Amino acid sequence: MQKKLIALAVAGLFAVPALAQTNVTISGKFVGGYDNYSVKDCQVASDCRSESRFSDQSSRVIFNIVEDLGGGLKAWGQLDARFLVDTGGSNAAGTNQWASGNTGMGLMHASWGKVTLGRWDMHYDEIWKYIGGNRAGSQQTNLADGLMSQVATTAGGATTAQTVGFASRTANLLMWDSPNWNGFTGSLAYSTNPANGANEGSGVTSAVNSGNGGGGYAWTAAIRYNNGPWAAGYAHWSSESENQLNVAATGANVAAVNNLRGDRIWLGYSFAMGLKLGFGYDWSRNDNAAAGALTTTNQKRGAWYLPVSYSWGPHAIYAQYARAGDTSNDMGLDTGASAWNIGYDYAFSKRTSMGIYYTQLNNKTGGNYNLKSLGGSGATAIGSGAAGTTGLGADARQWYIGMAHSF
């Protein structure tokens, strides 16, 4: 009788559905330092300036939530909140950076991968996070995300540096990440409003000279190989704008064009002695039409990137070089640029490092490239144009000494 009761009790336990387990983890990093930057060799005197400052370099707190749904299926969510370690605020403009990092939710399974709905890094960051990088550098030391993700164009006769992949996370994103197949992984994503502008999904606006503030759509795909000493990959970006312009000559409304395409490849190898070598190439195109124009200019630009690093014990040294060629169909202007960076850092532990770096960017006479986020991180706007721009033909330089701590 006692054995039967025990058997019934055990059977009852198995009959009760297993309660789902939710795990919450908190991680992040503090990154900040002191830098001195300057913009020189300007065609317009007001574009030149210099500044010394304490600056945050993308500090963040990340909350990860995973719930086991049974059968290998899991629900997950991530909230990536950014803050300024130098001021304690959200950002220099006072806008909210809560959940401004990689933030999303979805489902995942070991057999078919991971589905994400949210806002995530896409395309522009593919090269840097696999073959570039340092342990305590500023955002400006990231040449792969800076110069390599910009295309100098002359829509309407004014040279600007269009950014392919927005040099930030892509909003309104539906993304699939594959499982790891012997070192191979892939991603495929679609966004209904990549820049998170107004009028999402509305199509071309009907008002005269009205814009959709970054509306439109984008899709991107990538395939990567990371196994042992090798790192390689290919990524594609394609985005279409949704704007309406009025043509003064005819009074007709036509869809404005600001469509971006980008393809990039990278290859890296890590030697056992601590030497790392890499190569990246980016080929991007901007199809644009200025206000009041009926014709579209297809402008193309190629750029390449060489990172080298060597580490021994807690020490590491870095050198990078990147060059963007002249943009085609650009009124014959010299719109290219080059940039280089050297640095050293010291790892106190696996989580804490400190380093010193020098970065320089040189624009040709018609170039308007910029170091990544040079006008951000609490900085005063540089030059007479938009915040963070160098000014036509100007050169940017930065010394930076900083510290990074991960938790």
**Domain range list for the chain:** 31-406
The CATH architecture one would assign to domain 31-406 is Beta Barrel (2.40)
What pLDDT shows up at residue 227?
Answer: 96
- Measured CA to CA in angstroms, residue 130 lies from 65, 268, 295, 307 at distances of 26, 8, 39, 11
pLDDT of residue 146: 81
Residue 370 in this model has a pLDDT that exceeds 80:
yes
d(CA 91, CA 100): 11
Q: Tokens 């007709």: give the residue.
A: 252
Sorting pLDDT into bands at 50, 70 and 90, what band is 209? very low
Mean pLDDT of 383-406: 75
Q: How far apart are CA 197 and CA 323, in angstroms?
A: 31
Categorize the per-residue pLDDT at 2 as very low, low, confident or very high, splitting at 50, 70 and 90. very low
User: What pTM does this model have?
Assistant: 0.83
For residue 258, the model assigns a pLDDT of: 66
| Predicted confidence band of residue 331 (pLDDT cuts 50, 70, 90) | low
The mean pLDDT of the chain is: 80
Residue 170 makes CB contacts below 8 A (sequence gap 6+) with 119, 120, 121, 122, 123, 189, 191, 194, 218, 220
369 SS3 class:
coil
Q: What is the pLDDT of residue 210?
A: 42
Task: Provide CB contacts within 8 A for 171, sequence distance 6+.
Answer: 119, 191, 193, 194, 195, 196
Is pLDDT at 379 greater than 80 in this prediction?
no
Least confident of 19-28, 102-111, 128-137: 19-28
Name residue 24's amino acid: V
The pLDDT score that the predictor gives to residue 371 is 85
pLDDT band of residue 270 (cuts 50, 70, 90) is: very high
Q: Where is pLDDT greater, at 375 or 90? A: 90
Q: 268 versus 200: which is more confidently predicted?
A: 268
> Which pLDDT belongs to residue 159?
47
- Is residue 377 pLDDT above 60, yes or no? no
**Band of pLDDT at residue 303, cut at 50, 70 and 90:** very high
- pLDDT value of position 134: 93
> Sorting pLDDT into bands at 50, 70 and 90, what band is 245?
very low
Strand segments (E) across 289-387: 297-312, 315-324, 337-347, 352-363
Q: What is the pLDDT of residues 117-169, one digit of tens each?
A: 999 988 878 888 889 889 998 888 999 888 888 876 654 344 455 566 655 68
- What band does 287 get if pLDDT is binned at 50, 70 and 90? confident
Mean pLDDT of 381-396: 57
Lowest mean pLDDT among 28-37, 117-126, 174-183, 240-249: 240-249
